[in-house]
Amino acid sequence: MIELPPQAPQPMILAEALGADVSCFPTREQYYELVRAFKDDGYELCSDVCAVDYLGHPGRALPDGVIPTRFEVVTNLLSMSKASRVRIRVQAGDVPEVASLFNLYPGVEAMEREAFDLMGVIFTGHPDLTRILMPEEWEGHPLRKDYGVGRVPVQFKEAPGPR
């Protein structure tokens, strides 16, 4: 079991997943300070930052004390020196917004931009929160569960007509 760094904000909710990985469930206000505490404790790498839209699963299983919101930001930290990893799952709200980790892990710049572009998560303090995959003029966030898929008819050259 991973222990929280001594400087981690309290109270913090921890949960073991499959007996090996540990997930922390900070509030949005605790998120940045918790990540900073793990970095100071030897977690050298932020390997992933992504967002999840739980529109169709509002009653998902969460530890006691965690109030589910539609959007969740999931951050994975890795300590190569300790051979350990931790997952941080923050409930980002129904209008998703969390602090940017760019000042702690500059490598998250593109990951946060992708979560902004495709899911609409606002990372406050990010140096260049602009679209990275979709055109600038694109409206909406295509990985949200309520985003209209639309339909484009497919036409084939020289296809035989109806018989």
pLDDT 10s digit of each residue in the chain, 163 long? 567 787 788 766 777 665 557 899 999 999 999 999 999 999 999 999 999 999 999 889 899 999 999 999 999 999 999 999 999 999 999 999 999 999 999 999 999 999 999 999 999 999 999 999 999 999 999 999 999 877 666 666 666 666 6
Distance (Å, rounded) from C-alpha 84 to C-alpha 42?
A: 10
Tokens of 41: 């404790």
In this predicted structure, what is the pLDDT of residue 10? Answer: 72
Domain 1-163 has CATH 3.30.460.80: yes
3-class secondary-structure state, position 90? strand
List, in order, residues 6 or more apart from 112 with CB less than 8 Å away.
49, 100, 101, 102, 121, 123, 126, 129
CA distance 107 to 113: 11
Question: What are the residue boundaries of the structural domains of the chain, listed by start?
Answer: 1-163
Residues 6+ positions from 30 with CB-CB distance below 8 Å:
9, 12
- 58: tokens are 């509002």
User: Token pair for residue 78?
Assistant: 């890795």
